[in-house]
Amino acid sequence: MKTKLIFLLLLTLLSLSTYGQVVIKGKVTDAETGDPIPFASVLLQGTSVGNSTDFEGNFLITSSSRADSLLVTYIGYLPQAKALESGNEHTINFQLRPSDIQLDAFVFVAGENPAYDIIRKAVDKKKQFDKRNLNAYETKNYTKIEIDIDHVSEAFTKRKAVQKVTAVLDSIKQLTNDEGEKILPVFFSETLSSFYFRNNPELKKEVVEKSKVTGVGITDGSTASQITGSAFQEYNFYKNWLNILEKEFVSPIADGWRGFYDYDLLDSIKIGEDSVYALQVYPLREQDLAFTGTIWINKETYALKQVDLTIPREANLNFIERIKIQQELTATEQGALIPSKTRVQVKIGQITPKTAGLLAKFYTSVDSISIGNPKPTSFFNQAVVLQPDFDSEGAEFWNQNRKDPLSTEELAVLQMVDTLNKIPVIRFYSEGLKFLATSYLPIGKFDLGPWPGFFNYNNVEGVRLGAGFRTNMKFSNKWALEGYAAYGFLDQRLKYHGGVTRILDRNRWTTVKISTQKEIDQVGLEMENLAGNSVFLAASRFGTLRKPFISTNHKLELRRELFKGFILSGGLKLNHFDPLYNFYHRDEVGSELKSEFNTTEAKIGVRYGRDETFIINDNERISLGPSRWPIFAVNYSQGFKWLKGEYNYSKMNLVISQKLNMGMLGISKYEAEAGKVFGEVPYPVLENHLGNETLFYTTAAFNTMNFNEFASDQYFSIRYRHFFEGFLLNKIPLIKKLKWRAVANANVLFGSVSEANKSHAPVMDPEGFPLQPFQGLDSNMPYLELGYGVENIFKFFRVDFFHRMTYLDDPDTKPFAVKVSAQIIF
């Protein structure tokens, strides 16, 4: 009986305790973007009871204390309070608005800022926690990306094409931000992947297991799936510098932190089982490429626990209103930290008041972390690999395998993007933009183009009309065909090109290509050497052609990546040179003057980029460039007197290029090249240095040199460019508002021509009329030009001013030149 009474008493007390307990749950989100706000403080007003939101913005408070209201605060946002109704269970959601108010720094009259000691200890222990010190690791990743049209202006919605879209979308739940502005989703993707890392050498690889890509204008998700995984969403704050949008931002725990940041110790709190310091960080100079926000550092280990950092609009970034990075880190068995969850928001403002902005959201979660067991180097040959059935799964698979269920808003996004893809006017504009960007229009198994070759006009061909095609993956993923034909109405000549490529291996990219071509080319401006400078090439082929000739060639080309970053190429080329200008050269004996000549040339080359990243777009392999290490390329060519070849000669050249991070001074890029031609050949076979008489700036040319001005059989050149970012002009008040950025150039060329090769270019033709001799450089005097300029004018344009410092005696030289270009930079 006594036992029963005790049990009843305990039960009664428990019931009374439960009855008096208040349970409050909810979610805190950004009022403008709708994204969750992690690490926000939630407090019962008038008490010390509260909690912090998790990475998804959720919170849960259980307390016997009661209050009239609930208060949410977070740095960078306006605080918000909501009343608590009567009852024991509450669900309250908050939408916080960003604040433009910046907290003033604390001023310490005596002694050192206590935050400095914390940062100093965190920096001292960086090596212990940097994941790059792991021998190897593997993770399973889930990545989600959403892109929306934001800030839709009234003028934008009144456009006829836009009204056709909104009329269709009226039947779907409209997505708005907290201010009632409509958001129009245009892209949504989900990716499940395996990520691999190994050290010594540092190599990375992502295997995309499953991917679902839905986007306006996207008909084949294979290319998009290679860049929507986690490999391109990696942010390691244990690096001194983080590359974001091709710019280098300094980490709050960089070795040189005192030169870039100031800090405030905000609080000492508990996150899970860890006691941490919460520190506010902000740049010493608002124009620096640095972060502002909050970082949390473990009290015992001084390891980063989590970060919530923003790149403010004061940083000299184009179009970008805000970049926000939130990250939660997890310790591995060996102590190094790996981000377990990362969320990135990129808000792109309106270019003009009559356009719309963009909002891009990236989310990555990591689990199944495995340390050790490094894969062999050959495993990393391809940075991103798609599994054969990567896009085969439907909605049921994703419902079961995504770590976090999609929100109601995200489900509405998927429905809206699917609907947009079916609207004719959307398909028309999206296909049109792709046609302009890629130069090709997909039509079934074939792509029509390139459009720059449809029409041309110059002094040799007059009006030139042409058309071409290439096959795509729908035709074959092993065979690629291409070709075009063009006709000039003045010279009445047919030009053509045709090629067949066999893709032998898509993992270790291996191809064999056979092609034939008859085309008008220009000495020193050969089309195959300017394939990556389409605007400059197009400009140089309009109007007056310089030293034009008919080139008829047949080529066999082979290419294979032997191991990560190391590409071996080779081939054979038979070429017939038929000049359309007054050109003669001496035959091998040196007695007879000839106009045409043939060459047969075998070529072998190697190219090595230690950290160069490639993706496969349809049947092409595209380089995304290196991140740190230089790229080396060595090429050797041998000319033979067989298969109609008339000369024995050898050509060798070495090219080194690299991007250098100069910290707060900006970014430098250089290309150094050295080469030599062995043997006696006509000057079109020599190295005819690329000049630039067009209005357009190009990094491939000497911009104050005339076309065909200099040729060399041995040479060394270096082209150096420096981008000051905001280092100089950000200190001038008016220029700072315009966000102009200073640039500088220095181009140097050493070269010479042997007497034997000079003898191949006679000064008189067979009729006794003078010929235009080619000019060689003085081996004791380099060609030098210096340049300076401003980029980011009206956010798109760049103007460069070049001064030619040497070889000024020729009256045809231009000692000063102005070049313009257009570019999209951030």
pLDDT tens readout for residues 243-268: 887 778 899 999 989 988 999 998 88
Q: What pLDDT score was predicted for residue 179?
A: 43
Other CB atoms within 10 A of residue 70 CB: 22
- For residue 264, what are its two tokens? 């405030």
Report the pLDDT value the prediction gives residue 316, as an integer from 0 to 100: 67
Q: How many CA atoms lie within 13 A of 557 on its CB side?
A: 14
Percent of the chain with pLDDT over 70: 87
Reported as a pLDDT band with limits 50, 70 and 90, residue 17 is: very low
Instruction: List Cα–Cα distances, 789 to 49, 127, 801, in angstroms.
Output: 58, 40, 6
Q: Are 288 and 260 in contact (CB under 8 A)?
A: yes
Higher confidence at residue 444 or residue 164?
444
Answer yes or no: is pLDDT of 16 > 50.
no
pLDDT of residue 151: 66
Beta-sheet pairing, 479-488 with 494-505: antiparallel
Q: For 399-441, what is each residue's pLDDT tens digit?
A: 888 877 887 777 777 777 777 766 766 666 677 777 777 788 8
For the stretch 746-767, pLDDT in tens is: 999 999 999 888 877 777 777 7
Of residues 802 and 426, which shows the higher confidence score?
802
Confidence of residue 352 (pLDDT cuts 50, 70, 90): low
Q: Tokens 């082929």: give the residue.
A: 541
Q: Compare 520 and 273 and report the one with higher pLDDT.
A: 520
What is the number of H-type helices and E-type strands within the chain?
12, 45
Closest to 714 measured CA to CA, from 746, 671, 753: 753
Average pLDDT score over the chain? 83
What's the pLDDT at 106? 44
Q: What is the pLDDT of residue 809?
A: 87
Residue 88 clears pLDDT 90, i.e. is over it = no
pLDDT above 50 for 103? no
Q: What is the pLDDT of residue 775?
A: 85
Higher per-residue pLDDT: 182 or 653: 653
Domains of the chain by range and CATH?
2-96 (2.60.40.1120), 137-236+367-438 (no CATH), 506-822 (2.40.160)
Distance CA 800, CA 697 (A): 7
Q: For residue 15, name the pLDDT band (cuts at 50, 70, 90).
A: very low
Do residues 139 and 131 touch, judged by C-beta distance below 8 A?
no
Strand partners, 758: none
Confidence grade of residue 111 (pLDDT, cut at 50, 70, 90)? low
Residues 115-130: pLDDT tens digits?
A: 999 999 999 999 899 9
Give dist(CA 628, CA 633) in Å, integer: 16
Query: Of 160-169, 543-552, 755-764, which one has max mean pLDDT?
Result: 543-552
Q: What are phi and psi of 796, to 5 degrees?
A: -125, -30
Could you tell me if 175 and 409 are in contact, meaning their C-beta atoms sit under 8 angstroms apart?
A: yes
107 vs 587 pLDDT, higher one: 587
478-514 confidence digits (pLDDT tens): 999 999 999 999 999 999 999 999 999 988 899 999 9
Residue written as token pair 């990555």: 364
Tell me the CA distances in angstroms from 431 to 278, 424, 437, 442, one per residue in order: 49, 11, 10, 8
Cβ partners under 8 Å of residue 214, min gap 6: 187, 188, 189, 414, 417, 418, 421
Mean pLDDT throughout 104-110? Answer: 46
Q: Please tell me the predicted confidence (pLDDT) of residue 492.
A: 95
Q: Is the pLDDT of residue 667 over 80?
A: yes
pLDDT band at residue 711, thresholds of 50, 70 and 90?
very high
Digit-coded pLDDT (tens) for 673-693: 999 999 999 989 999 999 998
In tens, the pLDDT along 262-288 reads: 999 988 877 778 888 999 998 988 777
Average pLDDT of span 301-322: 83
Specify the pLDDT at position 399.
Answer: 85
The DSSP letter of residue 259 is G
Rounded Cα distance between 230 and 734, Å, is 40
Q: What is the pLDDT of residue 748?
A: 97
Tens of pLDDT along 592-618? 788 899 999 999 999 999 888 888 888
Q: Tell me the pLDDT tens digit for each residue of 620-633.
A: 888 878 878 899 99
Checking if the pLDDT of 800 tops 70, the result is yes
Q: Is the pTM of this model over 0.85?
A: no
Between these two residues, 496 and 644, which has the higher pLDDT value?
A: 496
C-alpha torsion 818→819→822→826, nearest 10: -70
Q: Which two tokens stand for residue 551?
A: 């080139």
DSSP 642: S
Amino acid 513: pLDDT: 97
